[in-house]
Chain A
Amino acid sequence: MNHLGFKIDKVKIASFDFTCCEGCQLQLANKESTLPAFLGLLDIRNFREISSERYDDYDIALIEGSITRSDEIERLKAIRAQAKVLVAFGSCACFGGVNSLKNKIPGEEAVRGVYGDKTVQTMPSTKISDIVPVDLMIPGCPVSKAEVERIIVGVVTRAPNNLPKYPVCVDCKQKLNTCLFDLGEVCLGPVTKAGCDAVCPTGKTVCLGCRGPADDMNFPSFIQIVKEKGLSLDEMHEKLAFYNGFADFLDHES
């Protein structure tokens, strides 16, 4: 394409998984209606969900998963050295994700619970920005394919697309959903970054904050609201800790 007189090239992309379920990467192979067009934007260099070919020259690296082993740190640093744009892909990479639940219990206990007496090397689950600088974050559990498309198109057309800054409530109200607080539940929609199209509240499931905090969200007021409505603060804390996206706020609070 030669829009505006400048040529738009495919981007050399690679995708890597660390400690995760690979569900976010699988999302990329979903949404068949736009899949051929989407793949048309990409020169896939390394992406085991899509192609068996492996090359080491890529510009964009998608990182799925959190870091839970020391060898992952070295691998991540090597990817960082090669990639021009490093993308934290999915909630695990962005915040530590569900994996971080194990950080709450002693490491040996976690290993014993899952692997029994087998020796397994592990460390607390860490988000990737604690280890290397991250250029872009695409949160979500799993990521939204529509949002990934938007962001990749932005990279390709040299017009970086930002995530929304506002909370999920905006999208939720636009779906004409009944507010889950009105049904007596604790929903993290008011403090969580929008962009998911409020899929969970639309399905009558509370938001668990997989996209992390909205910009400049009002945490003290949110706690106050949960209290005033007579809802469970423990439940709220449990939800806030689920994807580890609100770690900064929870640390601050205690």
Chain B
Amino acid sequence: MHDMRFTLPGQDLNREPFALKPPDFQKKCEVMITDRGYKCRLTNIVTISSQEKLFLLRIINPQERELFNFRPGQFLMLEVPGYGEAPISISSDNSNHEFIEICIRKAGHVTSAMFEAKQGAVVSIRGPFGTAFPMEAMEGSNVLLVAGGLGIAPVRAPLYWIGNHRDRYKNVYLLYGAKEPSQLLFSYQFEEWKKVSKVELMTIVENPDASWAGRTGMITELFNDFSFDAKKTFAIVCGPPVMFKFVCNYLDGKGIPMNRMFVSLERRMHCGMGKCCRCMVGSTFTCLDGPVFDYWSVMNLKEAI
């Protein structure tokens, strides 16, 4: 007799308007289809070293292409259907809405699948996520970019930014170190960075081969080659944790305030949205509060490096 009266009414979220729109990861809203990304085509795949490939992604849907606006330093979650998702830093020019460039080293499931993928394959991305390098705050100052190994990938985005707004910055230095000469990525762009972007580029390798005529040693060696006004300099340091510890401590000694040095931390994020907790360092989500941190914050994070 009581049949219908005691049945709970259900609410179907699948029919709500948000479920029909593409998600905008930069806008706060009530609910978001956090699991759906923007479909992309791999328009070009460039082998840039024995271990790394550069992928050019183009978001297929024009409306979604418009929604994807990133700032240098941010990352995206790359989805390769069947294989999974991985956080990848964006290494392209953020004024270019047509293509997104990501530089990948084969390390896990997703990246291995990307290495097998052929031009024209369809993947998807979510993002952009995380914090960015404060490029506006650096205006009127010198910028010191320090990259070790694959650390050049996240540094490439601020490099493009600086190239696009070169008159807003004073001297720009790029210090780039790698294990071997063949592992210096993007060497085909070195001349462009020097001449067009007017960046003072210095490179160094740890293990030189016969062809190498440049500097040899650890990246900190390069600091002996030039001088800069520490009081008017911002630094961006990307590379393995050991490297940025050395570099930042050195720069600290030189007099660059810790809150003007920026590093990008690496963690294995599973969601990119501050929920899975895989990237937590102490109480800080690398995906929300990072990956870009100033060195002062990093110093205050236990276990960060």
User: Could you tell me which A residues sit within 8 Å of B by CB distance?
Assistant: 3-6, 157-160
Contact = CB atoms under 8 A, between A and B. Distances in A.
Contact of A159 (B109, B119, B120): B109
A159 B85 CA distance: 13
B80 interface: yes
Nearest to A1: B82
A5 B112 contact: no
Contacts of A157: 82-83
12 contacts: A3-B81, A3-B82, A4-B80, A4-B116, A4-B117, A5-B118, A5-B119, A5-B121, A6-B116, A6-B118, A157-B83, A159-B112
Nearest to B109: A159
B271 interface: no
B113 A4 contact: yes
Interface of B: 80-83, 109, 112-113, 116-123
Contacts of B121: 4-5
Contacts of B80: 4
A160 B109 CA distance: 7
Query: What are the 3 A-B residue pairs with the smallest beta carbon separation, nearest first?
Result: A5-B118, A4-B117, A4-B121
Contacts of A6: 116-118
A4 B118 CA distance: 6
Contacts of B122: 4
A158 B117 contact: no
B118 A158 contact: no
A203 to B, nearest CB: 32
A157 B112 CA distance: 11
B254 to A, nearest CB: 42
A4 B123 CA distance: 8
Identify the interface centre among A3, A4, A157, A160: most chain B CB within 10 Å of its CB. Answer: A4
Contacts of B112: 158-159
Contacts of B118: 4-6
A158 B120 contact: no
Contacts of A158: 112-113, 116
A170 B174 CA distance: 48
A159 B117 contact: no
A41 to B, nearest CB: 14
Contacts of B119: 5
A5 B117 contact: yes
Given A4-B122, A158-B112, A159-B113, 14 more contacts: A3-B81, A4-B113, A4-B116, A4-B118, A4-B121, A5-B117, A5-B119, A5-B120, A6-B117, A6-B118, A157-B82, A157-B83, A158-B113, A159-B83
Contacts of A159: 82-83, 109, 112-113
A224 B116 CA distance: 49
A105 to B, nearest CB: 46
A160 B119 CA distance: 23
A160 B120 CA distance: 24
A159 to B, nearest CB: 5
Nearest to A158: B116
A158 to B, nearest CB: 6
Nearest to B84: A159
A85 to B, nearest CB: 16
A158 B123 CA distance: 17
Contacts of A160: 109
Question: Which of B112, B116, B120 has the most A CB atoms < 10 Å from its CB?
Answer: B116
B132 to A, nearest CB: 30
A71 B80 CA distance: 47
Nearest to B83: A159
B152 to A, nearest CB: 26
A2 to B, nearest CB: 9
A158 B83 CA distance: 10
A3 B109 CA distance: 15
B267 to A, nearest CB: 18
